[in-house]
Amino acid sequence: MIRLALRCRAEQAEAVLAELLEVAPSGVEEVSASGVVEYAVYGAPGELPDIGLFAARVGDALVEVTTAEVPDDWDERWKRFYFPVLVGGRLYIRPPWERAAERGGVEEVVIDPGGAFGTGTHPTTRMCLELMLEAGSGRGRSFCDLGCGSGVLAIAAAKLGFEPVLGVDADDAAIGEADRNARANGVLIELRREDLRGQTAPVADVVAANLTAGLLEEVARGWAAAGDKPGMLIASGILRVQADGVASALGAADMSELKRLASGDWIAILAE
């Protein structure tokens, strides 16, 4: 296993991350220290994204690129990056190697991330979960998770009473892992492999879309062209500098922003 890392000054991090997510949309590891931010992706030799001009600069941002061989015990060491998360006092998201919730009245979602993005620990996922709770009761309402990854949002929706629940992802591995996680949590969700680029995304009473800003804008344009839209949208995966552009695209699809959450460099938008 190889770790490929890009290091830049903290004030340049948003621009670098925005470009990196275009070639590594499944997500990256982020490490910050002393005014420097490092983003990393992992893969076997030959499987890592082609970073092209990243080696020199991204816009005005100079970046340092390094590669390192991951130690043989990485299959155990990586687990320290995933930990239990309690959201809104109602949703408890944990990996299977952590202890079960010690309090009652919470819905527990157990997620083994495998090779798919999404465990509840990343700010983009946590904000989606917070906005799902604010979206109201799931009873009698449908839910769609665009870019479902490991299935955490779709599974949480099913636990909250949404039905039917659909998860969509372009990655076969993500679909497989979402299915495995759904079975482990005892919920029924429909999973569909679908590339959201160039076609109209599905709609539902509530849609969660933890995607890149560029893809969110493309999805919104597709809904506008089709004359269709979700009853409510939770959009995440958006950097601060990109938030107004995404909100504008949603407005063109006849959706109004209701709320905006922020966590570090990340923004999530609730719209209807």
Whether residues 195 and 267 share a domain: the answer is yes
Which strand (E) or helix (H) includes residue 66?
Answer: strand 64-69
Residue 185 sits in the same domain as residue 203: yes
Residues 64 and 88 grouped into a single domain: no
What distances in angstroms separate CA 247 from CA 131, 162, 214, 250, 262, one per listed residue?
16, 26, 12, 5, 14
Q: 237 and 166, same structural domain? A: yes
Give per-residue pLDDT as tens, 211-227. Answer: 989 999 999 999 999 99
Please report the DSSP string for 86-139 in residue order: EETTTEEEE-TTSPPPSSSS-EEEE---TTSS--S-SHHHHHHHHHHHHT---T
Q: Cα dihedral angle (38, 196, 250, 225), rounded to 10 degrees?
A: 150
- Residue 15: per-residue pLDDT: 79
Q: How many domains does the chain have?
A: 2
**Tens-digit pLDDT profile for residues 156-186:** 999 999 999 999 999 888 899 999 999 999 9
Range of the domain at 251: 82-271
pLDDT category, 132, cuts 50, 70, 90?
A: very high
pLDDT surpassing 80 at residue 207: yes
Q: The CATH number of the domain where 68 resides is what?
A: 3.30.70
CA 133, 236, 67, 65 dihedral sign is negative
| Domain stop point among 27, 51, 76 | 76
Q: Report d(CA 1, CA 112) in Å as an integer.
A: 20
Same domain, 190 and 107: yes
- pLDDT at position 148: 94
Query: In this structure, what DSSP letter does residue 145 have?
Result: E
Lowest mean pLDDT among 24-28, 96-100, 119-123, 161-165: 24-28
Distance CA 162, CA 141 (A): 5
Q: What is the pLDDT of residue 201?
A: 98
Both 62 and 89 in a single domain? no
Predicted local confidence at residue 75, as pLDDT:
57
Q: Residues 34, 162: one domain? A: no
At 12 the pLDDT is 82
Whether residue 25 has a cis bond before it, omega within 30° of 0: no
pLDDT at 139 over 60: yes
Is the same domain home to 19 and 70?
A: yes
pLDDT in tens, 224-247: 999 999 999 999 999 898 999 999
Identify whether residues 68 and 115 lie together within a single domain. no
Q: In the prediction, which pLDDT does 164 show? A: 98
CATH number (domain holding residue 104): 3.40.50.150
Mean pLDDT of 17-42: 78
The chain-wide mean pLDDT, for the chain, equals 87
Q: Is 131 found in the same domain as 28?
A: no
Pair 141, 250 in one domain: yes
Span 31-40, average pLDDT: 82
Distance from C-alpha of 19 to C-alpha of 157, rounded to nearest angstrom: 31
State whether 52 and 91 are in the same domain.
Answer: no
Instruction: Give the residue from 32, 53, 76 where a domain finishes.
Output: 76
Residue that is last in its domain, among 76, 105, 140: 76
More confident residue, 105 or 205: 205
